Amino acid sequence: MRLGTNAVRSLAFQRRHKRMLYETGLTPVQQEPLGFWTKREDLACFVDEATPSGAKVRQYAAMIAAAPPEAVLAVGCSAASAMQIYVAAMGQRLHRPSYIAVPKRTQMHPCTRWAQEHGAEVLETVPGYPSVFRARIRERMHTLGLTPVPWDVKAAALDTAEQVANVPQAARRIVVPNGSGLTAAGIIGGLYLCCRLGRTEVHLVSTHDSVGTPQQVLTLVSRHFGHMAALYAKLTWRPQTMPYHRQMHGALADGTLLDPYYAAKAVGYCGEDDVLWITGRRPLASYRAKNG
């Protein structure tokens, strides 16, 4: 029953894609010279090198399409979060107002500066706790009498689960640069729906140990895919090795630059028959700083 229910929800989410701005479908899997594969979620909704792309762009576009046309785009997030770039880029593309609340820094983070330069109203908060910047964005929406496009966590998890369909059967591990844990939960859910949980391990490379712990990931799996999916998940974890805001630069063999806050920190842990799950792509030339 659980499998059928989630499959129906997933198909319903997929049908919404027909109203989206971008062509959607399974993103490609590439073989790398060193013997591992890459799942190129960074190519989802790709337009050009100056525009962000990735799974969250695809998911957010579907949520915007499902929301009332008067809904605005808003997010409260960390100073280095790519979500502020996605929100600003989508606002610019759709000619809709966008609002971002982030922790105030001595020098504005390049990601925040990129969002501001692309039309977003930036609200900086002190202190910079998540509860503070999220409350600030809610306060701003209330003051202006606006309703933001809601972020649908279950829909995002199901969207990621669909992308597991073309992961090679021979894959022994999926290596995931891990933030909140939602992408990892969606991957585990996809393996469950494809009856592959016992054969393919999910290896988390933590970018921030205070969120996205294995237990938090399994809680998300249980909530969105059921207890059995969480019970049989093969999950391993590599704790954070450097500060989240510190960048690590890296590239694939074809010259593709990896997100310095996520994928670049995970590629070094990929071995033969692993799959590196590349979640997204920021306009790197526009926001990269010499010091993260």
Residue 59 counted as domain residue: no
Percent of the chain with pLDDT over 90: 79
Query: Which of 121, 144, 167 lies at the terminal end of a domain, its last residue?
Result: 144
Residue 9 has pLDDT above 50, yes or no: no
Residue 18 has pLDDT above 50, yes or no: no
Q: Are residues 107 and 74 in the same domain?
A: yes
Residue 8 has pLDDT above 80, yes or no: no
Q: How many domains does the chain have?
A: 2
Q: Are residues 193 and 84 in the same domain?
A: no
Query: Which of 115, 144, 173 lies at the terminal end of a domain, its last residue?
Result: 144
Question: Tell me, what CATH number does 94's domain have?
Answer: 3.40.50.1100
Q: Are residues 20 and 90 in the same domain?
A: no
3-state secondary structure 181-226: CHHHHHHHHHHHHCCCCCCCEEEEEECCCCCCCHHHHHHHHHHHHC
Other C-beta atoms closer than 10 Å to the C-beta of 65 total 15
Q: Which residues contact 110 (CB under 8 A, 6 or more apart)?
A: 286, 287, 288, 289
Residue 162 counted as domain residue: yes
Q: Are residues 273 and 166 in the same domain?
A: yes
Q: What is the DSSP letter of 120?
A: P
Instruction: Write out pLDDT tens, residues 143-160.
Output: 999 999 999 999 999 999
Q: Which residues contact 94 (CB under 8 A, 6 or more apart)?
A: 21, 64, 73
Q: Are residues 139 and 161 in the same domain?
A: no
Mean pLDDT (the chain, rounded) = 89
Q: Are residues 172 and 39 in the same domain?
A: yes
Helix (H) or strand (E) holding 57: helix 55-66
Lowest mean pLDDT among 127-141, 174-188, 234-248: 234-248
**pLDDT value at residue 209:** 76
Confidence band (pLDDT; 50, 70, 90) for 15?
very low
Using only C-alpha atoms, the chain has a radius of gyration, in whole angstroms, of 18
Domain region containing 111:
68-144
Q: Are residues 116 and 10 in the same domain?
A: no
Instruction: Write out pLDDT tens, residues 263-289.
Output: 999 999 999 999 999 999 998 654 444
Residue 179 has pLDDT above 70, yes or no: yes
Residue 292 counted as domain residue: no
**pLDDT value at residue 243:** 86
Instruction: Write out pLDDT tens, residues 54-111.
Output: 999 999 999 999 999 999 999 999 998 999 999 999 999 999 999 999 999 999 999 9
Query: Which of 144, 174, 196 lies at the terminal end of a domain, its last residue?
Result: 144
